[in-house]
Structure 1
Amino acid sequence: MDTETKVQLIKDFAEEIVTEEELRKIFETNDHPIAYDGFEPSGIAPVHFGLLRATNLRNMLKTGVKFKLYLADYFAFVNNKLGGSLDDIRTAGEYFVEIWKACGIDTNKIEIIWAKDLMDGIDYWDKTLRISREVSLERNLRATTIMGRKQGEKLSMGQLFYPMMQVTDIFQMNIDICQLGMDQRRANILAREIADKLRWKKPVAAHHHIIMGLQGIQKKATKEETLIASKMSKSDPKSAIYMHDSYEEIKTKISNAFCPAKVEDGNPLLEYSKYILFKELKTIKIERPANFGGSIEFENYEELRNEYLKGNLHPADLKVGIADAFEILIKPVREYFEKSNKAKGLYESVRKFKITR
């Protein structure tokens, strides 16, 4: 595969690449660069965690990258997820692995790394201290939004370590491409600044879009706070469709979702079709009675979007089609967990955990 094709595969899902020229140079000089995404194990998986991550990962693997999925157990611990219980956090991490398998991720083609293993040695903490010497307290505080915290929110000392640890991860894993969400931008940009100061390898950042919750855009004082408040969250059942939801639950949640007629901006259902459903399905079919135009099938997002914005597709009909499309993708995941005793046991454990933030 030539360089331009590799770059385009990433551009197809990345909302931002810092920088595209550097990404191109990586592929020109390295057949198998190292990329990663990281996760706090902290609850039941929503659809973006399973479906969107699997789609983006498949595109990344086509480029020849060596991909690391990072289970950030100690990050969840300092961020008070699951009450700060490391046992529960690690059980949730094992459950995350089963979600990825259920979504078709071949775990033999990637590397799964735990923070507890990456941090086990003086070399990691030597890097952390070297990085911290280059970062002011004010700069560190600005980066704490990567934890899903607002600027100015009261934090523990442990949480103040979080940005420095995340930047350390990047260098400890020898990352070439940070392939995380837009909500992690501050950490990746900080890592690039640190690389310049310490003359370490400078990572490229390829940030994917953050999927909004069912409630739509939640306007806040800043763009970053709006992003955090609006995103689909594991800890907020009202905002999320989960990978275990039944067809009836999916239909109920979608029917109650924010979906303004003839409006694209801030419409979560159009967003799901663009970033998730059309990435996995060849078509989305909308079932309608004949007296309301009859059933209609869309082959791509632009077709669906245009009909919706013209008013030719009613929000109620769109909701039925989106629910049906999600059911096609989620049903195999439910079946995987029903058939696998290990996966089922992990899910049953995690669903009983008390979600904290």
Structure 2
Amino acid sequence: MSASEELSNTMAVMTPEERLATVLSIAEECIGEDELLPLLHVKHNPVCYVDFEPSCRVHIAQGVGKAINVNRMVRAGCKVKILVAVQKTAKDLDKVRTISRYMIEIWESLGMNIDKVEFIWSPEQINNRAQEYWPLVMDIARRNKVERLMRLQLNPAHVSATKLLDPIMRCADILFTEVDICLVGIDQREENIMAREYCECMGKNKPIILLHHMLTSFKEGQKMSKSNPSLDIFMDDSEGLVKLKINKAFCPIKIVEGNICLEYIEHIVFPSLEKFEIVRHESHGGSRTYLGMEEFVADYHSGALHPRDVKNSLAKAINDILQPVRDHFNKNNEAKVLHNIVKEYLATNPA
């Protein structure tokens, strides 16, 4: 039996309540949660919106995290539409397409169920229906105040006028793609609320919003970013580099809150491997396999687990997760060519 057939059989026996639990397992917050179960009762294949902006540097949240989340949505019966959201300032669209193909190769090598995913190229979607898209953008802009758009900017004092259009266009992308559920990072909360408010004004069905967790950097308190190559794990990092970065990670003894290593274990390791194995010498308590976060956190908080052992075990787990990606880009000629092109892009534009 193929993976797709097995997935279809799983979906066929899941109740709407079980599908609801699967969907909510992704979300740190669900806006419109009371609307979700009724939707799953009437729609066996609701449409889920996911976006991504192609980048030469693909960190582990973009790679592994997105594959985990998309597969959960597919398992719950959703048809996933991934919008390739091109930066408004992008000039070389061929380069962006190449990077997009590179990211799709990464997701395939991780086991994302690509057969159940539709990739939408945003410039093509906009250009094919420009007479609908731009009036929608202008109508959303007309219904929102400048002050609200300014609050969404990282540096409001030095923001350009074009930057004010970004949240409006992200909101328009959601509505234009015609979806039931939006799966986005918690940093996109306001744009998605704007989309729901607009639908309410227009008497249309509002998309349900799933806001997923966003991994922080290995340096305490910093958001994960492609501009921090020494602080974050990227999909093309070597085994040694993964170990080096994790060894430098913020992981205070007995402290759970804000512990970056524990965050990786919860959001990357357990969803990928369904277990976390502490490998250590018998004189230090011997190896132990955890099947859930609760028991692991209790042991760490009590001091039964030392940060050194956690870091060593986390590095091994992350390398196990990344190994299929390394193998794919080493053995598949087409993927190897893509990777080399992306590396050349990165060499000329490190940011």
- TM-score w.r.t. structure 2 length? 0.90
**For residue 182 of structure 2, what is the amino acid of its counterpart?**
C
Distance (whole Å) between structure 1 residues aligned to residue 313 and residue 217 of structure 2 = 18
Partner of 2:8: none
Q: Which runs of 5+ in 1 are unaligned?
A: 145-149, 218-229
Aligned residues of 2:137 and 2:169 also touching (Cα < 8 A) = yes
Matches within 5 A, 1:31-46: 31-46=44-59
Q: Is 2:323 the counterpart of 1:322?
A: no
Q: Hey, what does 2:137 align to over in structure 1? A: 128
3-state SS, counterpart of residue 48 of structure 2: strand
How do residues 1-357 of structure 1 correspond to structure 2 at under 5 angstroms?
1-73=14-86, 76-78=87-89, 85-120=92-127, 121=129, 122-144=131-153, 150-217=154-221, 230-352=222-344, 353=346, 354-356=349-351
Distance apart, 1:201 and its partner CA:
2.2
**Cα deviation, residue 156, structure 1:** 2.9
Moved more, 240-249 or 285-294: 285-294
Which stretch shows the higher mean deviation, 277-286 or 258-267? 277-286
- Paired amino acid for 2:279: E
| Contact 1:50–1:99 (8 Å) recurs in 2 | yes
- The AA in structure 1 aligned to 2:186 is M
| Distance (whole Å) between structure 2 residues aligned to residue 153 and residue 108 of structure 1 | 45
CA distance in 1, matches of 2:258, 2:30: 23
2:71, 2:113 within 8 Å by CA — same for their partners in 1? no
What is the CA deviation profile of residues 198-220 of structure 1, one whole-angstrom value per residue up to 9, with x for unaligned ones?
22221110111111111122xxx
Aligned-residue offset at 1:85: 4.1
CA–CA distance in structure 1, aligned partners of residues 185 and 319 of structure 2 = 25
SS of the residue corresponding to residue 45 of structure 2 reads coil
- 1:158 Cα deviation from its structure 2 partner: 2.6
Percent identity between matched residues is 35
For structure 1, which segment, 314-323 or 154-163, has the greater mean C-alpha deviation from structure 2 after superposition?
154-163
- 2:55 and 2:160 map into 1 onto residues whose CA distance is 18
**Is contact 1:71–1:112 with CA below 8 Å preserved after alignment?**
yes
Segment of structure 1 superposing worse, 193-202 or 175-184: 193-202
2:276/2:290 contact within 8 Å kept: yes
Whether the 8 Å contact between 2:51 and 2:85 is mirrored in structure 1 is: yes
CA distance 1:232–1:17, shift in 2 (3 Å): same
Compute the displacement of 1:333 (Å).
0.6
* Structure 1 residue 26 displacement after superposition: 1.4
Aligned with 1:135: secondary structure?
coil
Q: Secondary structure at the match of 2:115?
A: coil
| Partner-residue secondary structure (3-state), 1:257 | coil
- Paired residue for 1:147? none
- Equivalent pairs, count: 333
Partner-residue secondary structure (3-state), 1:119 = helix
Partner amino acid, structure 2, of 1:211: L
Alpha-carbon contact 1:17-1:205 (below 8 Å) kept: yes
Q: State the alpha-carbon separation in 2 of the partners of residues 264 and 205 from structure 1.
A: 28
**In 2, distance between residues paired with 1:342 and 1:63?**
32
Tell me, yes or no, if the aligned pair for 1:44 and 1:351 is still in contact at 8 Å. Answer: no
**Conservation of the 8 A alpha-carbon contact between 1:211 and 1:232:** yes
Q: Conserved in 1, the CA contact under 8 Å of 2:59 and 2:233?
A: yes
What is the alpha-carbon distance in structure 1 between the residues aligned to residue 24 and residue 247 of structure 2? 32
Q: CA deviation at 1:273?
A: 0.6
In structure 1, the partner of 2:10 is: none
Structure 2 residue runs of 5 or longer lacking an equivalent are 1-13
TM-score (norm 1): 0.89
Per-residue deviation at 1:103? Answer: 1.1
Contact 2:68 2:112 in 1 (8 A): no
Aligned partners of 1:296, 1:137: CA distance in 2, in Å?
55
Aligned equivalents of 1:123, 1:248: Cα separation in 2: 51
Give 2:120's aligned amino acid.
Answer: I
Q: Conserved in 2, the CA contact under 8 Å of 1:54 and 1:103?
A: yes
Once the 2 structures are TM-superposed, how far is the Cα of residue 28 of structure 1 from its aligned partner? 2.0
